[in-house]
Structure 1
Amino acid sequence: MLKATLEQWRMFKAVVDAGGFNQAAVLVHKSQSSVHHAVHKLERSLGVTLFENSGRKVRLSPSGELMYRRADFLLNEAQKLEAVASSLQQGTETQLRIAVDIVFPATLLYAVLTKVSEEFPLLRVEIEETVLSGANSLLKQGNVDIGVSPFPFSEGFSEDLCEIEFVAVAHPQHPLHKLNRPITTEDLKSHRQIVVRDSSADRKAESGWLGADQRWTVSHIRTSVDIISQGLGFAWLPLAMIEPQLQDETLAALPLEHGALRKSLLYLSFGDGDRLGPAARTFIGELRYQLINLPSSTAHPGLAGPAADNA
C-alpha cells in the first residue's frame, strides 16, 4: 500500500517550483492551507523532513532534494501514462508533427507523406524544417512527434536512418576554381565560407569545416545555394539538393586534396514510442521501406577525378 498520493507529490513539487507555499497555492489553484496540509501529511507518512526552516524562504532539506528529483520523474511518468491512455482512447490521431532536417531529401519525404495521407486522408501534417540540433530541440520540448536529425536524441529513441552526401562547391568562375590545381585547406581559409545556422533555440551545434577567416551565416540551405551560385563564396552542400546546379554548371565541385565529398548520418528519433498513434507508426514504417528500396547511388559526373577519389 502506497503511503503517498500523486496529488501530494504534485503539491510538494509545486512548492519547490513556485518558491513558496503562497505561490504554489496560486500555481495549482488551491488554498494555501490545502497545500500546507498535503505537504505536511506527505512528510508524516514518509517520516522524512522535506523542508528546512530558513526565515520566510522555502529551502529543501538534503532529503527533500533527493525526493524532489524522484517526484519530478514520477509526475512526468504519470503524465506520459495519461497521454498514452488518451491516445488509445482517441484511436487514430488527427495531427502528425514532424521535424525534418533540411538536408533530408524532400522528394523522399513527400513520397512518404503521400502514402501516409492515402491511408489517413483526414490527417493534418505539420512539417518543421530544422537545421542541426533543431529537430531534437523540438522533440525535447514536446512540439513534434517525430524528428529526423544529424544527432541522436538522448532523451528518447534514435535509430540510424540514412547517410547524406555533402560536396564542396563554388561557382565555376570563383577564384578557387582558377587555381587549376588541387585545393588545400589553406586555400579555403582565404575565401568566404557560407554556413547554415543551427535552428535550435540554443544554437550550440556546428557542422562541417569552419576554418575560413570570413564566414557568412544563413538560416536555410536555399539561401546558401543562391549566394554561392552568384560566386560569393563556397560551402559543403547536400549533393542530392544541388544536382540541378551541378548539371547546368551553375555550381562546380571544388577539387579539394581531401574531403571534397563527405557523408553525414541522419537519425530517426521520437520520445516515447507508446504515445505514437497509427499514423505516426505508418509514417515511420513507410520511411524505412522507402529508404530500403532506394536504388544504389551513382557518382555524379561533376565529382570525377582525384578530389572524389581522395574523399
Structure 2
Amino acid sequence: MPAQISLEALKVLDAIDRHGSFAAAAEALYRVPSAITYTVQRLEEEHDIKVFEKQGRRMVLTPVGRMLLQHGRQILEATESLAEMAQRMAHGWEAQLTIAINGIFPIELIFPLLRRFQKVQPDIHLALRYETLAGTWDCLHEGRADLVIGAPGLPPQGRSYDTLPLPLMPEGAFCYVAAPDHPVCALEQPVKRDVLRRFTSVVIPDSSKRLPALTYGLVESQSRLFVPDMDAKLKAHLAGLGIGYLPRFRAAPYLASGELREIAVELVRTDHSHYIAWHSSNRGRALQWFVEALREHNPYAELLAESLR
C-alpha cells in the first residue's frame, strides 16, 4: 500500500505555487529553505513521482505536480472547513440547520431572514424543505428538521416541543377551484358531494412517514391526481386536470384574471391552528437565532393576518 500524502506536503506545494519559489515558500511558512526542499524530495521519493522540474532558472510543477496541487487544495480547504465547523459547534453553533415549511405557504417569505442570518454565520449550512399536513410534525418528531413553520394542529405525543402560534386561518381562507373550461363549472352550485366524485381531485399527499396522515377536502372514491407541491397543484388546476382546494392567497390572482373559477361545493373544510415548532431540548444557537427572529418579524403570521382583514 503506497504511503499517504501528508497535509504538510500539500501545504508546501501550495506555498511554493502561491509565492513563486522554494525560498519564498519557506519564508511564508516560517521554515528554512532546506526544510521545504526536503519535504518535496521526500514526497517524490516515497511515491516515485516527479513533482517539480527545472525550466531555465525556475522550478515549475509537472503535470503530476499540478494534479496533486489541484486536488490537494480541495483537501486543505476541507480540513480548514472541518476545523472551523468543530470550533463553531464547540461554541454552540450547529453545522447545519434544517427548516421545514408547510407547503401551503410560499417558501420565499423566509428568504429575508436567511439573508440576515448569512451575515451572522455565513458558513453554517441551511436546508429548506417543504412538508405537507402531518408531515410537518413528523419531520420534526423524527429529527429530519430542526424547525418547522406551519405545523397544523397539536404536536404528537412522546416529545417535548416549544411553539409559536400562527394566526387562525379565517373562514374562506381556502377556496375550491377549477379551470373555467372544466365541466364542473357548468353544473348547478353548490355542487353536491356525490357529483364531485365524478371528477379528479388534485392532491398533495401528506408527507408523514410515521405519524397518522391527514386529509382535507376529499370525497370518498374520488379519483386523485397526486402532485409534489403547491406550485404543481396550482399549475394542474390551471391546466384543467382536476378540482380541489387552494389557499385563497395563492389562488387570488388567478381568480381575478379569470384563469380559475371558484366553485361552491357541499363540503366542510375544517382547518387546524398552525404553529412554528422546535424541540424543547434543542439549544443550538442557529435555531435560537431563527426563533428570536421569527418572534420579532414573522412573515407567515403577517400573511395570515392579512387574510383576516
How far is the alpha carbon of 1:298 from its aligned partner? 5.0
Over 3 Å counting, the alpha-carbon distance change for 1:262 and 1:119 in structure 2 is farther
SS of the equivalent of 1:242 reads: helix
Counterpart amino acid of residue 156 in structure 1? S
Structure 1 residue 123 corresponds to structure 2 residue 111:
no
Q: Which residue of 1 aligns with 2:264?
A: 255
How far is the alpha carbon of 1:257 from its aligned partner? 5.3
- Report the Cα distance in structure 2 between the residues aligned to 1:143 and 1:258, rounded to whole angstroms: 34
Q: Which residue of 2 aligns with 1:144?
A: 145
How far is the alpha carbon of 1:280 from its aligned partner? 1.2
Over 3 Å counting, the alpha-carbon distance change for 1:249 and 1:287 in structure 2 is farther
- Report the Cα distance in structure 2 between the residues aligned to 1:157 and 1:299, rounded to whole angstroms: 27
Structure 1 residue 231 corresponds to structure 2 residue 240:
yes
Counterpart amino acid of residue 118 in structure 1? K
- Report the Cα distance in structure 2 between the residues aligned to 1:215 and 1:144, rounded to whole angstroms: 29
How far is the alpha carbon of 1:119 from its aligned partner? 3.1
Q: Which residue of 1 aligns with 2:155?
A: 153
Q: Which residue of 1 aligns with 2:253?
A: 244
CA deviations 1:246-277 (Å, max 9, x no partner) are 23322221123564x7644222221234x332
2:287 to 265, 272, 280: 280
Structure 1 residue 210 corresponds to structure 2 residue 218:
yes
Which deviates the most, 94-103 or 147-156? 147-156
Pairing of 1:1-311 with structure 2 (within 5 A): 89-148=90-149, 149-154=151-156, 155-159=159-163, 160-164=165-169, 165-202=173-210, 204-212=212-220, 213-256=222-265, 259=268, 263-273=271-281, 275-291=282-298, 294=302, 296-298=305-307
Over 3 Å counting, the alpha-carbon distance change for 1:91 and 1:206 in structure 2 is closer
How far is the alpha carbon of 1:94 from its aligned partner? 3.5
| Matched positions, count | 213
How far is the alpha carbon of 1:169 from its aligned partner? 0.8
SS of the equivalent of 1:294 reads: helix
Counterpart amino acid of residue 119 in structure 2? E
- State whether residues 166 and 263 of structure 1, in contact with CA within 8 Å, keep that contact through their aligned partners in structure 2: no
- Report the Cα distance in structure 2 between the residues aligned to 1:180 and 1:239, rounded to whole angstroms: 22
- State whether residues 217 and 267 of structure 2, in contact with CA within 8 Å, keep that contact through their aligned partners in structure 1: no
- State whether residues 158 and 267 of structure 1, in contact with CA within 8 Å, keep that contact through their aligned partners in structure 2: no
How far is the alpha carbon of 1:87 from its aligned partner? 8.6
- State whether residues 101 and 107 of structure 2, in contact with CA within 8 Å, keep that contact through their aligned partners in structure 1: no
SS of the equivalent of 2:276 reads: strand
- Report the Cα distance in structure 2 between the residues aligned to 1:158 and 1:166, rounded to whole angstroms: 27
Q: Gaps (5+ residues) in structure 2? A: 1-86
Q: Gaps (5+ residues) in structure 1? A: 1-85, 301-311
- Report the Cα distance in structure 1 between the residues aligned to 2:136 and 2:88, rounded to whole angstroms: 23
Over 3 Å counting, the alpha-carbon distance change for 1:247 and 1:116 in structure 2 is farther
How far is the alpha carbon of 1:200 from its aligned partner? 2.3
- State whether residues 189 and 263 of structure 2, in contact with CA within 8 Å, keep that contact through their aligned partners in structure 1: no
SS of the equivalent of 1:136 reads: helix
Over 3 Å counting, the alpha-carbon distance change for 1:248 and 1:119 in structure 2 is farther
- State whether residues 161 and 268 of structure 1, in contact with CA within 8 Å, keep that contact through their aligned partners in structure 2: yes
After TM superposition, the score normalised by the length of structure 1 is 0.59
Counterpart amino acid of residue 161 in structure 1? L
After TM superposition, the score normalised by the length of structure 2 is 0.59
How far is the alpha carbon of 1:90 from its aligned partner? 2.4
CA deviations 1:164-186 (Å, max 9, x no partner) are 53221111122222125333333
Counterpart amino acid of residue 234 in structure 1? I
How far is the alpha carbon of 1:198 from its aligned partner? 1.6
Q: CA RMSD in A?
A: 3.0
Larger Cα-atom Rg: 2
Identity of aligned residues (%): 23
SS of the equivalent of 1:205 reads: coil
